[in-house]
Amino acid sequence: MTSDDRPVYLRLRDSIAAAILDGKVRDGDALPSVRSLAAEHGANPLTVAKAYQTFQDEGLILVRRGVGMFVADGATEKLRAAERKDFLDHRWPAIAAQIRRLGLDTDDLVERALA
Could you tell me the residue ranges of all domains in the chain?
Answer: 1-115
Q: How far apart are CA 82 and CA 17, in angstroms?
A: 11
Q: How far apart are CA 98 and CA 46, in angstroms?
A: 38
CA atoms within 13 A on the CB side of 72: 15
Statement: residue 63 has pLDDT above 70: yes
Residue 43: what pLDDT? 93
Spell out the CATH class of 1-115. Answer: mainly alpha
**pTM, two decimal places:** 0.82
Q: How confident is the model at residue 115 (pLDDT cuts 50, 70, 90)?
A: confident
